[in-house]
Structure formats: C-alpha cells, structure tokens
Amino acid sequence: MKPVIDAFQDNARAAIADSKLQDALARLAHGFPEKRRAAIGRLPEFDALRDAARDLKNHTLDHLDFYLERFEEKVVEAGGTVHWARDADEAQEIIVGLCKDAGARTVTKSKSMIGEEIAINDHLEAAGIVPVETDMGEYIIQLRHEPPSHLIAPAIHLSIGQVEDAFRDNHTHLAHERSLEEPRALLDEARVILRERFIAADVGITGANMLVAETGSLVIVTNEGNADLTMTLPRTHIAVASIEKVVPTLEDAATILRVLARSATGQDMSVYTSIVTGPKRSDDLDGPENFHVVLLDGGRAAMLGRPVREMLRCIRCAACLNHCPVYKSVGGHAYGWVYSGPMGAALVPNLLGIHNARALPHASTLCGTCEDVCPVRIPLPKLLRLLRTRDFMTRSFTAPDKLALRLWAFAAKRPALYRAVTGALSALLGGKGHYRRLPFVGGWTRSRDLPAPARRSFLRQWSLRGKNDR
C-alpha cells in the first residue's frame, strides 16, 4: 500500500463522520483495555517484567550486529538460509524470486506487519502468484483490498455486516439464502475456503514476532493456528521480519512473551506460540523442505544511533493504539499507512522520512497514556516531540503556523513586551461573555465557545494592588 499520510486531517474528519467505524471503535475502546487491566492485575511482577523487557531490548540494540550474525549462523546450521534486504524493494525481489524458484502458484500467508510494510501481496500478484491471507482479519481485509487498521486486529474497523458483504462479493458460490449473520457462520465459510488453499499452497509466508539468536529459531504467536498450517504444509517456508525482532536467547523470548499477549489482548498467552527452527529434518514427520528468513532493514539501522532508537524496542502489541484517545477517535486508516496510533506516529516518519509524514507527530495530545501502557517503556511523547522538532526545522520559515509561533515566542521571551501584548488583547477583546466566532482561532470556535479574556490580566491587577514584586 502506498502511504498517503498528508491526508490525516481529511481522513480523520471522514472517520469521525463514519458511524459504522465509530461503533467498531467504541467496542475496541472497552474490550482490549479492560482485558489488559485484568490480566496485569493478576501478575504483580508486571512492572518488573516491563523493566526486564526494556533492558533486554536495549541490550540487543546495543549489539544488534552481533546477534543478527549469530542468528544467521544458527539458521544456516539448521539448514536454512538468511537473506538481507536493505529496503522494501529488495525484500519484494527476494521473496518473489524465492516463490518463482519454488514454482509457486498459490502462496499462503499468516499475518505479518512487515508483509504489509513491503506490500508483498501486490508484488506476488504482479508476478502471477496468488497470495492468500489465512488470518481471519487479514483474510477479510484482503477481500476488501484495504490495509490493516490495527496491529493485531486488522479488520477491527468493520461491522459484521460489512464482513458478510465482503464474503458475498467474493465467495460467489454462496447461496443467497444462506445466513452469514453469525460470526460462527463466517468462520465456517472461511475455514472451508482456507482449508483448500492451505493444501494447495506451494509456499507459506509468515512473519515472526521474534528471532532467537542462540538457536536460529522463529517465535510466532497467533490465536488461530493459521501460522502453523502456513509454515508446515507447503514445501517452502519464507519468514519475513525486520532486524530489530532479534532477541539473544529463548529465555529472553519468554520474557517478551510474558508482556506481549497481556499488553495486546489481555490474554496470559496467545492461543498458539510456535517456535520453529530450520527446515524439516530427516526424522521430522512434517515441515517444509526449504526454510528462508528475509531480514528487512527498511530504515531501521539508520535509527540506531539516534534518540529515536527507543522506537526499535516496539514489540507490536498495540496497547498504545488501544489506549490512545486519538486512535480511538479516528481508527487506523486515518494514519495513511500500515502503522497507526502512537507507535505509527513515532515510527512512520523515521521509515518514510519526515517530509512524507509531517502530519503524524502532531496527531497526538501528548497525554502520555501510550507511554504508561507500553510493555517496553517507549517514551512515545518524547519521541513525538523529537519528530515535531525535525518537522519544524525542515519547514519554511514562512509557514503560517510556524510564523505565528515564532512571533508569539518573540514576545514570550520579553516579559515587558509580553505584558503589552496581553494588555492590548485584554483591551481589544476583554470582557465577561463568550465568543462563538473569532478570527484566527476558528479551529477553536468552530466547535467550542471561547471565553473573552479578562479585562485586566492577573499580573496587571496584582501590580495595581501595589503588591511587591520584582
């Protein structure tokens, strides 16, 4: 999917006016946060685990080259191959090439945000290969030709009626009278279709929640078991992951797992947690003959030496989305690409360049809830502020909002001048009532009354009373 981020303002307005989307977001707003609260309430050491998770991710980032090379060695030892992709183009080329080598016509896929980031389905289709998403949410949005609106619940923006419509539009064999109103009926229908695809697939593509350096293993969590069928049934398994997903040991992976599902869905563990290492061995009953891992940089290595490095700790749990008042108002699509919410606002400008994502760092009230719930303690408000600085520094001096801010700051640095300006404002606008319209502050008065400033500011009244002060 091509990013279209500068439309955030319009997207947000449309999202707020979309009553079906608002119903879906209202369900989300209570579901995940309440379950998370209950799950961490049952685990007194949760905050200590967050510290441990943060520290182990920091340690890994400090020695990222070492752990990635160790991971590659171990994958090769197990009989697999690691491919390094500098950017999305290289990753697409590698994956499409591997699929062609395997003579693939059908490719099953389990959910992968990196797959979304590199738009792998589009490139497979262009090469005449049929990609089939096997995660229920991803399957639905694939039918609808749209990007995920949430990290772990990609179709969270849809009502069941919209899902039914997508099924009827695509599953043309469906009898008109067959009821699909119950989620169960939709699941059964998807299961029948997907079962055929699982068996027909020549290649299975998965993501990876973690890469374990000491063993060369992938850790993959799902709630549907679809990743297991995706990677064990076809002859070739290709996993695609970004470089910061590596952790040193299985023990470390366990630490991350303990905070991941609790932060995401409020489960103690996801239903399936699979650890896979290399291709099928001679005495294995099943598994792929070929095992490939495609590691994507995609702008991440360039983040390492900078304060934004902290963003590379992110484990994609979506707790920051689930608790963000902005995300809960507009949903994921408003953010214009595959990552949304506070983590998207902080990550995307680093991956795509600030000039392609200027709207995002400002799409936050900096309320701090995201940082409060982050399982790896990413200081998201601080990172958003740093990106705002990058935006400010790279914009023309004459941009109206920048000019207004500089003028205000010019006065705020000079107390006497500032007094004169506020005095003039009071004289001009001061009083007791409220404005319903006022030039220059339409952003406020379009939906809110604005009280008139005091006729005399506090400091003016204080000095008139002959009180001290210096």
Partner 1 sequence: MMSQPPPSGSPRVGLFVTCLVDLMRPAVGFAAVKLLQDAGCAVSVPSAQTCCGQPAYNSGDPADARAIARTAIEAFEGFDYVVAPSGSCAGMLKLHYPELFKNDPAWKARSENLAVRTHELLSFLVDVMRYEPEDVSLIARATYHDGCSGLRELGVKKQPRALLARVKNLDVIEAAEAETCCGFGGLFCVKYPDVSTHIVDAKIDDAVKTGASLLLGGDLGCLLNIDGRLRRRGIDMTVRHAAEVLAAMPESKPESKSESEDDAA
Q: Which of residues 251-280 bind partner 1 (CB under 8 A)?
A: none
Q: Which amino acid is at 193?
A: I
In the 8-state DSSP scheme, what is residue 444?
Answer: H
For position 431 contacting partner 1 by CB under 8 A, the verdict is: yes
Please list every residue from 380 through 399 that binds partner 1, using CB under 8 A: 382, 385, 387-393
What's the token pair of residue 189?
A: 């229908």
310 binds partner 1 (CB under 8 A): no
Q: How many alpha carbons fall within 13 Å on the CB side of residue 441? A: 11
Distance separating alpha carbons of residues 306 and 287, to the nearest angstrom: 41
Q: Which of 160, 301, 304, 425 binds partner 1 (CB under 8 A)?
A: 425
Give the residue, chosen from 46, 84, 272, 418, that forms a contact with partner 1 under the rule CB under 8 A: 418
Between residue 218 and residue 257, which ones bind partner 1 under the rule CB under 8 A?
A: none
Q: Collect all residues with Cβ–Cβ distance below 8 Å to 449 and sequence separation of at least 6.
A: 434, 435, 436
**Alpha-carbon gap, residue 468 to 378, rounded angstroms:** 45
Tokens of 80: 């697999």
- Listed in sequence order, the residues at least 6 apart from 268 whose beta carbon sits closer than 8 Å to its beta carbon are 39, 42, 261, 262
Region class of 143: left (phi > 0), else alpha (psi between -120 and 50), else beta: alpha
437 forms part of the interface with partner 1 (CB under 8 A)? yes
Cβ distance to partner 1 smaller for residue 145 or 446? 446
Asked whether position 2 contacts partner 1 by CB under 8 A, the answer is no
- Which residue from 44, 172, 305, 458 is in contact with partner 1, where contact means CB under 8 A? 458
Beta bridge partners of 272: 222
Positive/negative CA dihedral, 423, 425, 429, 435 = negative
435 binds partner 1, rule: CB under 8 A: yes
Residue with Cβ nearer partner 1 (29 or 130)? 29
* Residue ranges in 7-36 that form contacts with partner 1 under rule CB under 8 A: 8-9, 12-13, 16
41 near partner 1 (CB under 8 A)? no
Query: Shortest approach of partner 1 to residue 456 CB, angstroms?
Result: 7
> Among 59-67, 110-118, 220-228, 414-422, which window interacts with partner 1 (CB under 8 A)?
414-422
Helix (H) or strand (E) holding 222: strand 217-222
**Count of residues of this chain found to bind partner 1 when the rule CB under 8 A is applied:** 76
Verify binding: residue 436, partner 1, rule CB under 8 A: yes
Name residues contacting partner 1, limited to 327-346 (CB under 8 A).
329-330
